[in-house]
Chain A
Amino acid sequence: MKYFKILLFVFSMSASTVLSQETKKDSIPEKPARPAFESSYLINNPSNVLFARKTLEIQIKHRFGLINSGENDLAGIWAPSNIRLGVSYAVGDRWTLGFGTTKFDRLQDFSLKIALFRQTRSNKVPISASYFGNFTIDARKKEDLKFDQDRFSFFHQIIFSKRFSSNFSLMLAPSISHYNVVESDMNNDLFAIVFGGRCKISPQSAILLEYNQPFASSTEEITSDYGPKPGFSIGMEFSTSGHAFQLFITNYNALVPQKDMMFNQNDFFQGDFLIGFNITRAYRF
């Protein structure tokens, strides 16, 4: 009985000792990790980043001509260029609607991005995942296309990302592209994987890298020389309080992801690359 009382006393003291170890941080609920990337686009591909509710983001993307075109065009800067003007609005903290208009083929894209789950600071949830999808209309003159449905293409992607530290983040994003109308020796659908990363070199600047591998196959019984070339981009990002500026070289110039993935014939490692830049500006209401 005596020992029982001693044991009971010891247990009661140890319970209060355990409680007294609780710190302010222990009582703070699990928080999402800070954004892995600065803007909603890595270079050509969307990132997993979604802004807070009521944020309006303006996107300007510009791709000059090929550097090796052989024309006297200042490394493609004076050559015909492709431009996309876009806007996205964060309707909620976890979903964003977007619209963009692109010069080549007069593409009009309507997009949706949804945060599926988010990396937490404790790493209990080790990665983030977002869904990005778009529906794009080729708005060229009717003479160029036989049926209205010929104008449509679709893109679906799941973007996995991980913020390893405040200076280093990686991204992996499988995707499916679909065109209602393609050449006879092509499939309407194409699977691809994007691999990208950001490495900060100062509080406001970072090196960006992106590689896109399409997995195309010819239709049965028809052999084809068709095969979209992989995409490769490397550049720098400079961020301010509201802007992110990206300057890079890339072999992708379509500005709408499914068009790049399905139809790109520029081979980066054969010298088919161009200078491009992206500017994004976020307005928070």
Chain B
Amino acid sequence: MKNLITLILIILFGGFILPPMTVEKSNQQDLWQVPAEYKNLENPYADMKDEDQIGRITFSKYCKSCHGKKGIGDGTAAKLLETPVADFTSGIFKDQTDGSIYYKVYTGRNEMPGFQKIILEEEDLWLLVNYIKSL
């Protein structure tokens, strides 16, 4: 009888305690390794004035839904993702080279799509990099 009561108590205890112990989503991204050739890649459009706002238009069309209007990772689709969405205004992000950002947009990773088949113009991709860095 004593053993039965003990067993029931253990089951009840486990039933109340274990479910709330869900895995919390980390607010930090896993480190994204960028090949050296991209890390050191020079941005040929770094000083270009984007008069046609190609960077802004491209960001609005492809990035805003997840990264948010201001790039802080609060887009409407961000809530649906398991992976934390990068904050483009953070110091850690801005310390990256232009080539690193170019690589990440180009290839993508996990829930972040790669845009190599979507943004076909290299210039448009660099202008997007410029715009992201300006946020």
Taken together as a complex, chains A and B put the C-alpha atoms of A31 and B65 apart, in Å, by 30
Asked whether A218 is an interface residue with its Cβ less than 8 Å from the other chain, the reply is no
Residues of A within 8 A of B54 (CB): 34, 166
Residues of B within 8 A of A239 (CB): 61
Residues of A within 8 A of B62 (CB): 241
* B52 and A241 within 8 A (CB): no
20 further A-B pairs in the complex, CB-CB below 8 A; given A24-B44, A239-B61:
A31-B123, A34-B54, A34-B121, A52-B120, A165-B52, A166-B52, A166-B53, A166-B54, A166-B57, A203-B56, A203-B57, A203-B61, A204-B61, A240-B65, A241-B62, A241-B65, A241-B118, A284-B117, A284-B118, A285-B117
* A241 and B44 within 8 A (CB): no
Closest to A166 in B: B52
CB distance from B81 to the nearest CB of A (A): 16
Kindly identify, within residues 92 to 119 of chain B, every residue whose CB is under 8 Å from any CB belonging to chain A: 117-118
CB distance from B132 to the nearest CB of A (A): 15
Query: What are 24 A-B contacts with C-beta separation under 8 Å?
Result: A24-B44, A31-B123, A34-B54, A52-B120, A165-B52, A166-B52, A166-B53, A166-B54, A166-B57, A202-B60, A203-B53, A203-B56, A203-B60, A203-B61, A204-B60, A204-B61, A240-B61, A240-B65, A241-B61, A241-B62, A241-B65, A241-B118, A284-B117, A284-B118
Chain B contributes a number of interface residues (CB within 8 A of A) equal to 15
Closest to B54 in A: A166
Chain A contributes a number of interface residues (CB within 8 A of B) equal to 14
The chain B residues found within 8 Å of chain A, CB to CB, are: 44, 52-54, 56-57, 60-62, 65, 117-118, 120-121, 123
Taken together as a complex, chains A and B put the C-alpha atoms of A204 and B59 apart, in Å, by 10
Taken together as a complex, chains A and B put the C-alpha atoms of A245 and B76 apart, in Å, by 19
Taken together as a complex, chains A and B put the C-alpha atoms of A66 and B60 apart, in Å, by 36
Residues of B within 8 A of A285 (CB): 117
Closest to B117 in A: A284
Taken together as a complex, chains A and B put the C-alpha atoms of A240 and B62 apart, in Å, by 7
Residues of A within 8 A of B61 (CB): 203-204, 239-241
Taken together as a complex, chains A and B put the C-alpha atoms of A166 and B60 apart, in Å, by 14
Residues of A within 8 A of B123 (CB): 31
Taken together as a complex, chains A and B put the C-alpha atoms of A239 and B118 apart, in Å, by 14
Residues of B within 8 A of A31 (CB): 123
Residues of A within 8 A of B56 (CB): 203
The 6 closest A-B pairs by CB, nearest first: A203-B60, A166-B52, A203-B57, A284-B117, A241-B62, A241-B61
